[in-house]
Structures are given as structure tokens and as C-alpha cells.
Amino acid sequence: MATDSTENRFNYFFGVINLAGVFCIVWVLWYILMNPNTVMKLYTPMYGFSLIVVFLSGLILLTKVLDYNSWFENQSKNKNVILRGLLWTFISFLLMGVINYLVFWGFIGKFGIAYFSPDSIVAGGGIGAEPFAARENASTAILYYFTAFLWIALFWDLGFGRWPWHNDGAGTRAWSKFFVVFFFTTLFYIFLFHSHICYLFYPAQSKAGVAPWWEALASTGSAFFSLGLVLCILAWIIFSDLLWEGQPWKKFEINGEGTFGKGFATFIATLTLGIILLFIFLQIFDSVWDEAFVGGQYTDGPDWRYIHAGEISGFFVLAAFILKNYFNNFPNLNRLWLRALIRTLLAIAIGMLLYWFYYSPLATFFLAKVEGFAQPGDTPLVWTLLFLSIIIIQNEFFNGWPLKKIKPGVEDNG
């Protein structure tokens, strides 16, 4: 994702226009898909939440894991950008359907782990095993799985890059990366989220999963702890990738390729920064809402504090994408550390603006949200990830069409 920061590919005015356009597209999509008073009403919330996480994961799978550009380079370049964009958007949509309904609901949930399929949960019977709760629980499991996927896939792309398959062909590299990313995704999912899902049922599925091991540490058995932590880590992965141009991890590269050392350092450093960021958020929350306590609800709940840290990280990530994609990663000063610092501060400022928007009466108008914090069943992540998905689609599949101008002779890798 890192680009040459001296490229000037987006007129700032067009950037604003484009951003406003994307905002409107997201608004319309929200109105059709998620608004509880309109058409599809998918924001139940977990069903809609999981679908959007799976959709975004499909985009990341295509662009960062399978590196679809290198597979289809010849075909893609010759195609009209609109047709190309529509085709890949359609493929992503199809991928979401295949992953969610066929792979998880229809295959893994039917023949392996019951909680991934609403039908299998209902078939298992017991308290609360009715279609709606079953769909919510299966969706929760799927969204947790793909949260782990987003972490591992984006970390791998930033940390290891093409290593250790950089000398192999695109096909070998893509599939090798695919299997490794899903292997580690599965491991981290088991470690960070599986227990929560096993304890979503009554009685708890204690033979399938241990009680949440983080309970004493986090003052909650909810995996919102893990979710918040992963999202805080992701914020640093995105910041260093987009805003810091891959630095300082690039210092570990050899001949422009990733190394084990680079991947290891990136993993440890972003994990550490993520923990620090989470800690800072928790301190701020304590200051605003007083200390959370075991069993507290709304803003008093430790579980909500964790997911809220993740939600704010989500706003920061969205802000970083906006800065990078619509404002040429402003500012493009000569000193890397200075421009990285200013971009980071700008991303935080834009992120806080988005935060203000989401918790203001404007969100009641645009998103049919009830004013206030910690509404059960509401998380800004759904809107944030939908916004992020549209930005990625426009920039990856449509090459920034219609307002982004590519300088002649400069490869657009943005």
C-alpha cells in the first residue's frame, strides 16, 4: 500500500468532492442495507456486522493476499476501468456470499463446528436456540474469525510482504500466502475468540472451549477484549503502512524484499503499540466515565470499553485511508519522520471528527441511530467498515475513477 509520497495524483478540491461522493454512496448503501426502518434491515446488529466484515475481508483477500493484480495484470490493464471496477466489485460481492453462506453456514457449520451455522445451532436445540439468536451467534463467530483474518492478512502484507516466496511465481506466492494467512488466522481465532463463542450458549459449551482465559486480566469474559486489542493493533499496521510509507519496518528489508526479521519486528512492534494504544484509551475512558467495573453495563462495562477502543481505532484507520486516498497523503515534506508525524496527527484529528459525527445528532439523521453512547446492539464499526470498503473498491478496482488523475509515466500503485 505504501506509495511514492511525492506523487500528486489528486487535486485537493476533487479529493473533497470525491470524499463527499463516497459519503453519499455509503449513506445510500446504509439506507438500503442497514437502516432499521427501510429495506433490507441487516443491522440486527451481528448479521449486518459480520457481512460487512466478510465483504471487507474478501477485498483484502483479493488485494493483499492473492494479489489479484499480478494474476490478472494483462487482462485488467486492457479493460475499461469502469468495466474492470464493476467486475471486481461483483466478484467481491460473490466472494462474500460464498464465504459467509457456502463455506461457513453451509460447509464448516454443517460438517464441523456447529456454531458457524444458524441451522446447526437450531438443530442442536436447547435454550435460546431459535433462528434469530442462532443467526446472531453464528454471525458473531464469523465476524470474530474475519477480524483475526484482517489482522493477520494486513500484518503479513506489511511485515513479510512477498517473503519467503519472492522468487516464486505469482500463483505459488498467492496460494502459499493464502494458506499461511488462514493457518495463523485460525490459530489466533481459537486463542482470542473461540472461548467467547462457546460461552454464548446456555449451558456453556465447556468441553469445546475453555472459559475465557482473559477474564481475570480484562475483568470480562467477553471477547470484546480481544476485538478491541486487535483493532488497536490494526490501527498501527495501517498507520505505518499508509502514513509512514512502510517505515520503520522497511529497514529490515533486503534488496527491497521482506525478511523474517522484518515480519517478526513488525509483529512484535505493532502488537506492543496496540497494547499501549489500548491502555491509553482505557485511561482516557476512566477519566471521562470513571473506572469500569465487573458486571457494569453501558459505559461502565469493561467489555464496552474494549470495543470502544477498537471503534475509535476504526475511525483512525478510516481517517488514514481518507488522507491517503483523497488527499495524496498530505503533507509530502522531504523529511519522512516529519511528514509521517503530521499525517498521523491529521489522521487522529480526522478520526475524532468522524467520532464526533457518529455520536452527534447527525448520525440520527443519516444512520437512524439513537443518540448516546454504548447503545446495546450498536457499533460504529459497521458504518466505518462499510465506508472503508467503498474507499478500497474505488481505489483498487476503479483506480480512483472518476476524479483521480494518474500522472503520465508514473505507475499508480495507490
Partner 1 sequence: MKRRTFLKSMAATGIAASMTGAGVLTREAEAAKKIDIGEIKDLKIDVLTETSWFNNDLFKKDIMDYGGAMTNQYIIPWKWDNAGGYSVLMTVTTLEGKKRKFLLDTGWNNEWMDYIYEMNNIPAMLKSGEIEFMVLSHWHLDHFWGIESTLKHKADIPFYAPKTYYPEDMALLKEKAHHMAKDKNTGEMMHICKNDVPHTGKLVLCDPKGEKGEGIYRMMPGVAIRNFDVPILLRVRGENVLYFNVKDKGIVTVTGCCHPGVLSLFSYARKNFKGYKPYGCYGGLHISLFETWDPKFDDIIKGVKAFKIQKLGCNHCTGWIWAEKAAAQGIPVVKGTDKYKTYKKYSTVAKTSNVFLTNGDTVTF
List of residues contacting partner 1 (CB under 8 A)? 35-38, 41, 43-45, 127-128, 130, 132-133, 137, 196, 199-202, 204, 212, 215, 219-223, 283-288, 290, 293-298, 300-303, 312, 352, 355-356, 359-361, 368-378
Provide, rounded to whole angstroms, the least separation between the CB of residue 294 and partner 1: 5
Smallest distance, Å, CB 345 to partner 1? 12
* Residue (201 or 397) nearer to partner 1, CB: 201
Contact between residue 51 and residue 42 where contact means Cβ atoms under 8 Å apart: yes
The residue (of 20 and 40) whose beta carbon lies closer to partner 1 is: 40
Give 179 or 356: the residue with its C-beta nearer to partner 1: 356
Q: Which three cell numbers stand for residue 76?
A: 485488467
Report the alpha-carbon distance of residue 319 to residue 303 in Å, rounded.
25
**Minimum Å distance from CB 209 to partner 1?**
11
Q: How far is the CB of 225 from partner 1 (least distance, A)?
A: 10
Closest-CA residue to 208 (of 184, 190, 187, 222):
190
Rounded Cα distance, 388 and 315, in Å: 10
Peptide bond into 402 cis (omega under 30): yes
In the complex with partner 1, the residue whose CB is nearer, 78 or 287, is 287
Closest distance of CB 247 from partner 1, Å: 26
**Residue 113: other Cβ atoms inside 10 A:** 16
* Cα–Cα distance measured from residue 220 to residue 213, given in angstroms and rounded to the nearest whole number: 10
Residue 183 or residue 293: which is nearer to partner 1 going by CB? Answer: 293
Minimum Å distance from CB 53 to partner 1? Answer: 17
Closest separation in Å from C-beta 352 to partner 1: 6
Smallest distance, Å, CB 111 to partner 1?
25
Residue 219 has which C-alpha cell?
Answer: 475483568
CB of 324 to partner 1, least distance (A): 22
Q: How far is the CB of 283 from partner 1 (least distance, A)?
A: 5
Q: Give whichever of 15 and 302 is closer to partner 1, judged by the CB atom.
A: 302
CB of 269: closest distance to partner 1 in angstroms? 24
Q: Give the torsion sign (CA, 292, 297, 298, 303).
A: positive
- Alpha-carbon distance of 228 to 312, in angstroms, equals 9
Q: How far does CA 408 lie from the centroid of its chain?
A: 33
Identity of the residue, 60 or 192, whose beta carbon is nearer to partner 1 in the bound complex: 192
Measured from the CB atom, the residue of 185 and 195 that comes closer to partner 1 is 195
User: Is 155 or 214 the residue whose CB approaches partner 1 more closely?
Assistant: 214
Q: Are 319 and 292 in contact (CB under 8 A)?
A: no
Residue 10 or 383 with smaller CB distance to partner 1: 383
Closer residue to partner 1, CB minimum distance, 217 or 370: 370
